Amino acid sequence: MFALLAGSLAQVITPDKQAERLTKGLIGIQASTSGSAQMPVCPLDFRYGRPEMKTVFDEETRLQKLLDVEAALAQAQAKVGNIKQEHADIIKKTASTRYVKLDHVREIDQKINHEITAIIRALSEQCGESGKFVHVGATSNDILDTGAALQIKDAIMIIDGDLDKLKRTLAKRAKEHRDTVMLGRTHGQYALPITLVLKLANYALEVKRHQLRLKECSPRILVGKMSGAVGTGAGFGPKALEIQKLAMEQLGLGAEEGPTQIVARDRYVEMMSVLANIATSVEKFATEVRNLQRGEINEVSEFFDETVQVGSSTMAHKKNPVTAENVCGLTRIVRGFMTPAYESAILWHERDLTNSSAERFFVPHSFILLDDVLAKMDKLFATLVVNTAQIDKNLTRAGSVIMAESVLLALVSKGMGRQEAHELIRKCSMDSQRACEDFKTYLMGNKEVTSRLSEKEIDASLDPRAYLGSAGATVDNILKIVS
């Protein structure tokens, strides 16, 4: 875990709090304005997502992050001499959901229709005489964008942990199947032999690259601002830049170097692009499992608990790749949020409000769903069933024709031109497949082949386990990188 993210999450989220909030989300009935009861509508409330990531984006955590920003602002104001330290200390001590209750903030918000002002009023009430120094010089998005960065910081830390766990699982399973030779496929057709370890190691390497992308882009994403209504910092006086620097340092964030009323939204576009990229890889992995589990291939499959698990309500024999299919569906939702992310970066002048409502959806939903699917993929690969007997059967069923390239290169090594060898082997392979006969038979019946290659040399060229090239060395290099 990289240092920028370390330690912040544990201060807010406890197991007891997770359980309490999850229970509220699952069974809490809300009263509507008409007095009727409403159950949760969003599937995140009752079907998808894990408690830790959900807690990062729940209302109480969000309120605490916003209060943390107000506290940091007050401390910064005190350090530059704009307010007395005793007032800043009272604001810092009081800026907690222990004192500023979510229900009270909601009550004020319903009356005035302005969330940040509702928080300011609720906090100021609790601060007594010091309340007059809450939010001095700031604008709403100084608090909102900086608070959002604190939430995103915690969320990235969880995603990084998810990626690390999945990477290690893939590397472990790869080592277990170092000698498992299987069919490689291109265009859905038989290609050349590969090893299962190469496939899994490549996945681990891809996950490692996503970790690096997250680490590399985090300094650009995890920034806040304290520069007032249009980015000039006029409301903070001559020490505005120092106030912003001090506040962001306290919060463990970078500072927006070129603010308007908001943090620049190209940062959100970059963040969502990385999340969508991770989601795409996860769907690719899941799609491979789904394909290899198809009845006519049946080389790997999701673990299926035959003692209790049901595959179909009517077809009792079914063992469906339901986790991989679920992952494919959810990752498409994550990628689907790229459009509103791009659109939300196009704002009028120094800002308008069109981004706000959209971001309330795509930021938390993307992180919650991505965390969910990464955890599912880790479990899927950790328990993946590898049918080595079927892998061998498929390799045999494909026939020796898949070794056409090996024979071609053997002929080239004996002095035949590459193009001439290609055409010769192409004809032999097409003839053998058309007649549904063994490829070797056609090779042995061709004088141009046998004049250069003995039967022993032909047999050696047709051995799939002898034609794996540098796969072993490649895997060794990958496992060093991902370890």
332-360: pLDDT as tens digits: 999 999 999 999 999 999 999 999 999 99
With beta carbons less than 8 A apart as the criterion, state whether 269 and 345 touch: yes
> In the predicted model, what is the mean pLDDT of residues 449-478?
95
State the Cα–Cα distance between residues 70 and 197, nearest whole angstrom. Answer: 52
State the Cα–Cα distance between residues 370 and 368, nearest whole angstrom. Answer: 6
Element (H, E) at 179: none
**Lowest pLDDT segment from 21-25, 34-38, 147-151, 186-190:** 21-25
pLDDT of residue 293: 94
Element (H, E) at 15: helix 15-27
Tell me the percentage of the chain whose pLDDT exceeds 70: 91
Dump pLDDT digits (tens) for 32-80.
444 556 788 999 988 999 999 999 999 999 999 999 999 999 999 999 9
Output the six-digit token pair for 229.
């209504």
- Nearest Cα to Cα of residue 216 among 270, 266, 171: 270
Residue ranges and CATH numbers for the domains of the chain are 151-178+194-226+258-390 (1.20.200.10), 399-482 (1.10.40.30)
Query: Can you tell me which residue has the tokens 């097409």?
Result: 430
State the Cα–Cα distance between residues 103 and 302, nearest whole angstrom. Answer: 45
Q: Around Cβ 427, how many Cβ atoms within 10 Å?
A: 12
Residue 302 has pLDDT above 50, yes or no: yes
List, by residue number, the catalytic residues.
187, 312
Residue 449: pLDDT band by 50, 70, 90 thresholds?
A: very high
